[in-house]
């Protein structure tokens, strides 16, 4: 049994900052947690010396096998073993930066399931890693360079079954065009409602969640009517979309950080001009729509789209920073990045908060992010299953 004491807890369930706490961990699970008393402290415990402890962050929208350079697609044809090694490096960057759970939104060369299983089997160390396999897209649609092209309900049903056969954790669909794909508008509709509904039914029959790439309002509505579990990006989300999502309990992963990193470095570092222009066109709508959805009470989680141009695999903290800078309550922001994201991924029974019976996946901070969200950039320690994570050189915060 492991015992930790003398730390300040961010309780994302009660939304409280609790000083002077202790926690015991047995077989990787939290056995006890609460305020510290003289009786609760054992000399053999691990003294966290007044640090702030919170659940590990979630990033529900990443591309672990994509390197955040000007044109990530230029590496798609690399040997699968090399792509897997890049993915391993990126996942360690997520973990070192305090992210203990990620969802990978599109595979490369079908290596993502093997990489996930290597982590789960203890061959390598990484965050909890959920994979979608290949995204489902219409012929010539956004993501068709790496995804599974499918047309019509029957073909979309088969495409979903193919991903499920490979053992994916959830299924991703493409309802609209995208920023990085040439020759299309980001808000144009692509897969239709009946096509998505056929794939979603297959995923739900297998007990799997679904997520949809959707910028335009029409594509969002098509996906929500089809039964999607979470809308990703949602740049042009409108009042009708929000009403539908509330009525159907559809979640929202907004990916604000992708624009931050693109605008920060993309103009001067050779990102395609059309991509930057599309992102700028959507950005103002995106922020306004996100705030409307937040204020309306849509279940919102955090994701960054890491792996897009200059969008690093250690930048999850920036998603929470940007939310706080929009005036949102810091505790609510941290809840979105932990327990609410766990609910969206369907894993809140065993992670997402520091609660009895859940995995002891947590991070240690010198300073309090409730006072300054930028503190999340400087994670002191990361624990998985109650054990301190030690890193190889793969975790260096650089891209190669």
CA dist., res. 78 & res. 186, Å (int): 27
Q: Which residues of the chain have pLDDT under 50?
A: 400
CA dist., res. 122 & res. 118, Å (int): 6
- Assign 184 to helix, strand or coil: coil
Q: C-alpha 147: how far from its chain's center?
A: 19
Closest CA to 258 of 72, 118, 22: 72
Closest CA to 290 of 248, 331, 258: 258
Q: What share of the chain is helix, strand, coil (3-state, %, to 5)?
A: 35, 25, 40
Is 251 within 8 Å of 272 (Cβ atoms)?
A: no
**Tens of pLDDT along 112-152?**
999 999 999 999 999 999 999 999 999 999 999 999 999 99
Helices (H), the chain: 80-96, 112-120, 152-166, 193-205, 217-226, 239-248, 257-265, 273-296, 316-325, 330-335, 341-345
- Assign 368 to helix, strand or coil: coil
- Assign 51 to helix, strand or coil: strand
Is 235 within 8 Å of 278 (Cβ atoms)?
A: no
Helical (H) or strand (E) element with 59: strand 57-62
Q: Which residues contact 351 (CB under 8 A, 6 or more apart)?
A: 55, 56, 100, 101, 128, 342, 358, 359, 361
**Tens of pLDDT along 188-203?**
999 999 999 999 999 9
pLDDT for res 269: 77
Closest CA to 233 of 181, 301, 144, 296: 301
pLDDT for res 270: 87
pLDDT for res 110: 92
CA dist., res. 261 & res. 35, Å (int): 40
Strand partners, 214: 233
CA dist., res. 341 & res. 357, Å (int): 18
**Tens of pLDDT along 267-317?**
667 899 999 999 999 999 999 999 999 999 999 999 999 999 999 999 999
User: What is the edge-to-edge ordering of all strands in the sheet holding 46-55?
Assistant: 29-35, 16-26, 2-11, 46-55, 362-365, 379-384, 387-388
Closest CA to 332 of 277, 287, 303, 369: 369
- Judged on CB neighbours under 10 Å (0-12, 13-18, 19+), 274 is middle
Tell me the pTM. 0.96
pLDDT for res 390: 86
pLDDT for res 37: 74
pLDDT for res 51: 98
pLDDT for res 400: 47
DSSP track, 309-345: TT--TT-HHHHHHHHHHTT--HHHHHHIIIIIHHHHH
CA dist., res. 64 & res. 85, Å (int): 10
- Assign 6 to helix, strand or coil: strand
Q: Is 118 left (phi over 0), alpha (psi -120 to 50) or beta?
A: alpha
For residues 267, 58, 132, 27, the Cα torsion angle rounded to the nearest 10 degrees is: 150
Is 68 within 8 Å of 307 (Cβ atoms)?
A: yes
pLDDT for res 268: 63
- Assign 299 to helix, strand or coil: coil
Q: C-alpha 111: how far from its chain's center?
A: 19
Is 260 within 8 Å of 309 (Cβ atoms)?
A: no
């Amino acid at each position: 049994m492991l015992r930790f004491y003398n730390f300040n807890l961010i309780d994302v369930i009660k939304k409280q900052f609790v000083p002077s706490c202790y926690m015991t961990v047995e077989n990787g699970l939290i056995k006890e947690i609460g305020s510290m008393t003289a009786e609760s402290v054992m000399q053999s415990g691990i003294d966290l010396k007044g640090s702030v402890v919170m659940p590990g962050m979630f990033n529900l929208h990443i591309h672990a096998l994509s390197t955040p350079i000007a044109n990530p697609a230029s590496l798609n044809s690399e040997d699968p073993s090399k792509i897997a090694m890049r993915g391993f490096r990126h996942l360690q960057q997520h973990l070192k930066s305090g992210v203990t759970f990620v969802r990978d939104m599109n595979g490369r060369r079908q290596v993502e399931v093997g990489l996930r299983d290597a982590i789960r089997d203890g061959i390598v160390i990484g965050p909890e890693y959920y994979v979608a396999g290949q995204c489902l897209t219409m012929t010539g649609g956004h993501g068709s360079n790496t995804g599974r092209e499918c047309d019509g309900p029957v073909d979309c049903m088969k495409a979903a079954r193919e991903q499920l056969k490979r053992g994916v954790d959830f299924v991703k669909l493409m309802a609209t065009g995208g920023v990085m794909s040439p020759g299309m508008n980001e808000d144009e509709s692509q897969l239709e409602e009946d096509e998505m509904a056929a794939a979603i039914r297959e995923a739900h029959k297998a007990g799997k969640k679904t997520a949809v790439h959707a910028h335009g309002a029409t594509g969002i509505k098509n996906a929500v009517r089809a039964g999607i579990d979470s809308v990703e990006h949602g740049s042009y989300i409108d009042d009708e979309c929000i009403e539908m999502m509330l009525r159907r309990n559809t979640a929202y992963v907004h990916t604000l950080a992708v624009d931050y990193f693109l605008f920060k470095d993309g103009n001067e570092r050779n990102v395609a001009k059309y991509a930057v222009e599309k992102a700028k066109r959507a950005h103002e709508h995106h922020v306004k729509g996100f705030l409307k959805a937040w204020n309306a009470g849509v279940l919102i989680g955090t994701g960054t789209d890491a792996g897009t141009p200059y969008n690093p695999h250690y930048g999850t903290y920036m998603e929470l920073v940007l939310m706080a800078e929009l005036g949102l309550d810091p505790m609510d922001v941290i809840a979105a990045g932990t327990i609410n994201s766990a609910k969206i991924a369907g894993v809140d029974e065993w992670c997402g908060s520091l609660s009895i019976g859940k995995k002891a996946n947590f991070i240690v901070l010198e300073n309090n992010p409730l006072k300054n969200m930028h503190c999340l950039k400087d994670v002191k320690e990361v624990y998985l299953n109650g054990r301190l994570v030690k890193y190889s050189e793969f975790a260096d915060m650089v891209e190669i």
